[in-house]
Amino acid sequence: MEMTPNSKRDATAASMPSSGPEITKKSAGHYRWTICALLFFATTINYIDRQVLGLLAPLLQTKIGWNELQYGEIVTAFQVAYAIGLLVMGRLIDRVGTRIGYAVAIGIWSLSAMAHALVHSALGFGIARFALGFGESGNFPAAIKTIAEWFPKKERALATGIFNSGTNIGATVAPLAVPWIAIHLGWRFAFLFTGLFSAIWIVCWLMVYRKPHEHPKLSPEEFQYIHSDPAEATSKIAWWPLLGYRQTWALILGKFLTDPIWWFFLFWLPKFFSSEHHLSLTGLGLPLVVIYNAATVGSIFGGWLAARLIKAGWTLNGARKTTMLVCALAVVPIMTAANIQNLWGAVALISLATAAHQGWSANMFTLASDMFPKRAVGSVVGIGGFGGAIGGALISAFTGFVLQLTHSYLPLFIIAGSAYLIALLVIQLLSPRLQPVSLDLREEVAGLHI
């Protein structure tokens, strides 16, 4: 009887020794990178969708008539929904799997993005942003879980850095496309077009994606390479016990302190350049393209550096935290950005900071799969992202208040420059060795490991 691709992989997996097979990356195949490319495009669309409002904020502030506090409240609505959604979506994705869970999340955000074109008030934008935040919250839990399913641990930081660079590509494409659409077709069409791209991606995802053991295009050799790490249990895990681990709190607090800085860049840089450097809607394009292209390089570099140090013989703990320290130090100079009168001097400092953030972020995401088994990754990323979104909601409200009161960006850049070093210290205190969590039955019931 002829064996199917799936049965061949099952037989290969059954014969794998516990110590892992002797198989090289070169001989394994490359289909896993096709899956990574799908994650990259989803993340790109995710960031195009969420950046449209920030780019159009100076224009809409005039047309709709909101002030700094109201804009802060609109952004906060997105962040609060994002925080709630991370808890719900992370859990959903662990339960129903990445194929269906990812499609549901993107379906919600596609409809929500297009709904922005129908509103006429600050309240309407707040409601649309809330729905968008809830849908977009599913992107990173689903993507990180997919990476854990499709890549061995030694490649996860690089794969994460590649798909996470989609945030920067999205943030680069948006300033080029959105102003042109707004000027030639009207601002409502900018929201409609970006929502349409999300719908197209869902069709591609459902056609292409399967788990490795179900995928007909995955060779037995690549399947074996993907599963070259020690085998893990596949039973479901309760959500609440995860909060009993120091490792979970390292992720929560690390993201609580640093994710808000990226949200600040994303939603307030167009307003910063408009108010402080007097750039028009069309003039925002080039500075933002430079900044987010630098962030793309930083995202990939952060993943590459950690992988290179591991390959050179460093421990996972040493490689990961050294890379994060390099990134944290590179953000510090942004404290002076508010006082720089030259546009391109400010762009250079912000470019360095966004690149460093994305290098940091690639490793922060990978910490979840470093320390937790695959069956818990979606939930852990969701919990950590919840902390980041709560921090984002707080910084959004705080930013609106500070700008309305002082009209100065200096306090905000000082916070940005110091957040990463503080976060790294917290992570080191909570997880000094990045010790993997062992989730046996007793631990799932008790979960008290703080």
Sign of CA dihedral 206, 208, 212, 216: positive
CA 9 to chain centroid, in Å, comes to: 32
Whether CATH 1.20.1250.20 fits 30-228+236-446: yes
Question: Which residue, chain included where needed, has tokens 């210290």?
Answer: 425
Residue with tokens 């000027």: 183
- How many Cβ atoms from other residues are within 10 Å of residue 136's Cβ? 27
Looking up tokens 């053991």 gives 213
For the chain, how are helix, strand and coil distributed in percent, rounded to 5? 80, 0, 20
Angle at 42 between CA 203 and CA 311, to 5 degrees: 125
CA distances from 132 to 44, 80, 124, 179, 272 (A): 15, 11, 12, 21, 24
Q: How far is CA 116 from CA 4, 124, 131, 176, 198, in A?
A: 48, 8, 10, 20, 15
Q: Angle at CA 160, nearest 5°, toward 154 and 163?
A: 140
Cα(258)–Cα(364) distance, integer angstroms:
10
Q: Which residue has the tokens 């990812």?
A: 102
| CA–CA distance, 36 with 31 (Å, rounded to integer) | 9
Spans of all domains in the chain: 30-228+236-446
**Cβ–Cβ under 8 Å, residues 198 and 399:** no
Contact 174, 48 (CB under 8 A): yes
Crossing angle, helix 374-406 and helix 68-96, to 10 degrees?
Answer: 180
Question: Whose CA is closest to 355, among 433, 294, 407, 413?
Answer: 294
Rounded to whole angstroms, the Cα distance separating 126 from 54 reads 13
| pLDDT the model gives residue 232 | 59
* Alpha-carbon gap, residue 436 to 450, rounded angstroms: 14
Residue 439: the pLDDT is 66
Note the residue count of the chain: 450
Distance CA 121, CA 114 (A): 15
Radius of gyration (Cα) for the chain, nearest Å?
A: 22
pLDDT confidence of residue 308? 92
The answer to whether 307 and 157 are in contact (CB under 8 A) is: yes
C-beta of residue 146 within 8 angstroms of C-beta of residue 289: no
Q: pTM higher than 0.75, yes or no?
A: no
pLDDT at residue 231 in the model = 66
Q: For residue 449, what are the β-bridge partners?
A: 245
**Can you give the pLDDT of all 450 residues of the chain as single tens digits?**
333 444 444 444 444 444 444 555 555 678 888 899 999 999 999 988 888 888 888 888 878 878 888 888 898 999 899 888 877 887 788 888 889 999 999 999 999 999 998 988 888 899 999 999 999 988 988 998 899 888 888 788 788 888 877 877 887 888 889 989 988 999 899 899 888 888 899 999 999 898 888 888 888 888 888 877 776 555 556 667 888 899 999 999 999 999 999 989 988 898 899 889 999 888 888 999 899 889 888 988 998 999 899 989 999 999 999 999 999 999 999 999 999 999 999 999 999 999 999 999 889 878 888 888 877 876 787 788 888 889 988 998 899 899 988 889 999 999 999 999 999 999 999 999 988 887 653 343 333 333
Show the tokens assigned to 395: 């910084």
Around Cβ 198, how many Cβ atoms within 10 Å?
25
Q: Check the CA dihedral 413-416-421-425 and report its sign.
A: positive
